Structure 1
């Protein structure tokens, strides 16, 4: 006798999980690929310029801001445009519009990948780069309000591109829109006047500056307002409520008005005394940098140590080496070259080159037109080069040819320490703009 197996009534039935339209839209199509492309674009660009931004929060923030505005923005614009024209290119626009959902809701679901994926990618790239900067900075903070405004701007550009793709579903619209967007953002970023700060890619070297507190939120309101205006105007074009598009438009216009009232020269940036505060060592001559570059102070002091040993106690020698936005503040101060420009991740990779630059600045006089002429000009130039070479030899493959100055260098090296100090005092006291006053070793 054969037993017949029948399913038990208590056996659990398979449950079908309903996938929300938003989740399905985010997971398919061009969205994930756009996010990956934006992450790679930003990170590869930042990696190629890492030595220039990893030592300061200001440099890292500025570089991320420009990269997001000028590279990620046009990429999101083009990708959103391609995504927006997808339904008409496939011939499924009528089928999509037959879905029993309000037109604006369908539009917001469809535009989500074009806006959210690039924005999330920029946010991820910002986090990676800020973490890579953190071990090497001395002071200050990253201006996260500006980075948040960049995320909103990239999302807004993706949404605007989606609307353009729906209106003009031509296949070449997306690449052309990306090119036009890049050119427009670049031109706006480097324009003259307050209008340049309306561009998401406007650059500012704010080593000792900070933005006004409202600039980040207002910038986000400007770009988000434009995107929402376009979305509402397109999504409500066939029904009631089209006047709702005027609300985000009014917000965008108000935000733009605030930005356009900024001072033409300063823009939204103001000097921050806490960042420009001087931090000095206890050497003689003293070396002073700003609080932003405090971690560089031991490196700079060590690089200048051989020169300071020769200058110590010499009449006319500097009392302090000063680095920062204001330069010398009292008699005896001597301005330093910008150590941050030569630094890589908070360190000086070529201290000999920095020392040579400091000596060059020490002996650089501002001569009037017609000075440094006459029969002794060539000889004075050779002596000047010899003194620089004696105090700080030029590294290989850098600087001018020192062959003509070699005899004077040998004379200086052959002198006794007392004679060297005497000559150095006479050279510092001379007016090097007049060749006949330059003492010969």
Structure 2
């Protein structure tokens, strides 16, 4: 079975986090077609991402996609058998390695002990009876005899292990090779089917669209019902925005919301790489939990603006709007204490992250007060961004070694957005109190 050795480059990780939400926001704002139709672009995307289980066929409501499922399940089963055989093979190979080391070590010891046995016996005979020399020679002779006896026992056991385990190891190796080849052939069969489908996909999409029922305009009664439902709908997010701070929080919240879609693709890749190719990644989990941490920080102001935070408002809910504003105004003291502490602390964390002694960028030197701000700006060049030998401050302890300083600076951004949204909320409360309605 072929393996995957792909490791997500750091630059691609950051480009994806920046570019993907922009593309998604543009696509989401496109006018929706009145008539539901299958699209070739979406069909190809599904084929590339989920074609190994026939999702592109199911998207087009083509039941021939079922052909992919038993083959894919066989690949999973064969990989499971390969994993079990690999474990058995590893255990047997371990036993053989231990036996080989015993043979290598004990053969020399036993031969050396036997070679010196006659000399030790002669010393015991030549020594004066009852003397210290005789007792010392007898001890050395006894040690040599014990070495021979124990060494021979170990050699017999090691040879028995070699005789018994070697056939088991060979059988496990053959089993592993069989299931590994079976999984590979099944996977190649899926690739052949998928390649054929990629060629046939335009025709499949055309036939699926031709099979759709004709579009029917909804009646006036249905339009009135939809309008009534729209009037009763909850307040939309954009209706909360009253100033530029609200619009900034709204934009940031929507922007990082699309990161959840990235997680779907990344974890899908991780599952396929782990269970189909037997190549688990060393970056997927770390990349996603760092991404979700940044998402949580950035979306804090959005959640505050749309009042999405979890809260118990048994006493707050029945109050009139001016009284709610008074309560919010008084409790904002605690909010600004929290938000200010978050901002200051995150600034310290962010500066410390780029100031670690192992950082060799000019920005790291500036953060450690080794050079001034003007000198740092003057020293910046393309090499500071592209040279792999230049490292900016703190990195993760994982093999992926992603820089952690951008996450720390996102904490600063989250703190700034939260403080700004607090200022916006404070101004709204003051205006509400002034109205007195």
The TM-score with structure 2 as length reference comes to: 0.23
Structure with greater proportional helix content: 2
Asked which structure has the greater CA Rg, the reply is 2
The TM-score with structure 1 as length reference comes to: 0.23
* Structure of higher RCO (CA pairs closer than 8 Å, 6+ residues apart): 2
